[in-house]
Amino acid sequence: MQQIKVACIFQSMDNYGNTMTKSIFLPLTILLLIISGCAAKQESVYSQLGGQSKIDEIVDNFVSEIEFDETILRYFEGSNIDRFKEKLSEQICKRTGGPCEYTGDSMEAVHTGMNITEGDFNRTVDLLINAMDKADVPHRLQNQILKVLAPTRDEMLYL
Ligand code: HEM
């Protein structure tokens, strides 16, 4: 069906000898090919960040931020911080397009029973932003990271 449509377009171009259409059609096709080629080559957020070492730096800073925030720290009483760091790092790596597998528990399973409020969720995001600032992550990439983590919000609020 698609082939028939394309053939028809070419035929109608021949029939009417519309040189204007012909002169626009070729450059437009080339432009589309260039745009799609550029999009395919676009680097992942993981690579733009500089890979795993930058993610580990963000996660280390994030844990320090949590340690200085009484409200959020109380959620982590009794938690295994080394495990938290490892799993969070995997999660950020995977969600930013890095070569990792996430081997932790589901976001829903982990956070159920904590009854995380919207205010505390936003507060935690602020701590993550501080952590990224301290790791010199450009704001453009910070926004990309927040964008890929945002969907987790509905998997953990008020559970
Ligand atoms: C940006 C959203 C968040 C993400 C991506 C995230 C991700 C994670 C990950 C990957 C783990 C480790 C899972 C595992 O051990 O298998 C974890 C654990 C944990 N998270 Fe979150 N989290 C988020 C927000 C929050 C918030 C808002 C709170 C509380 C205010 C919180 C509190 C905790 C606690 C206390 C643990 C440790 C649980 C335990 O010791 O078993 N998280 N989170």
Mutate to test the pocket of ligand 1, among 110, 128, 144, 153 (most ligand atoms within 8 A of CB): 110
Closest ligand 1 atom, residue 75 Cα: 35
Q: Measure the CA–CA gap between 128 and 45, rounded to whole angstroms.
A: 17
pLDDT of residue 79: 97
For ligand 1, the distance from its centroid to the CA atom of residue 153, given in whole angstroms, is 11
Q: Measure the CA–CA gap between 44 and 54, rounded to whole angstroms.
A: 14
Closest ligand 1 atom, residue 128 Cα: 1
For ligand 1, the distance from its centroid to the CA atom of residue 43, given in whole angstroms, is 28
pTM of the shown model: 0.80
**Per-residue pLDDT tens digits for 62-104:** 999 999 999 999 999 999 999 999 999 999 999 999 999 999 9
CA neighbours within 13 Å on the CB side: how many for 5? Answer: 2
Domains in the chain: boundaries: 2-41, 45-155
For ligand 1, the distance from its centroid to the CA atom of residue 84, given in whole angstroms, is 7
Does residue 124 contact residue 71 with C-beta atoms inside 8 Å? Answer: no
Does residue 73 contact residue 67 with C-beta atoms inside 8 Å? Answer: yes
Closest ligand 1 atom, residue 80 Cα: 40
CATH of span 45-155: 1.10.490.10
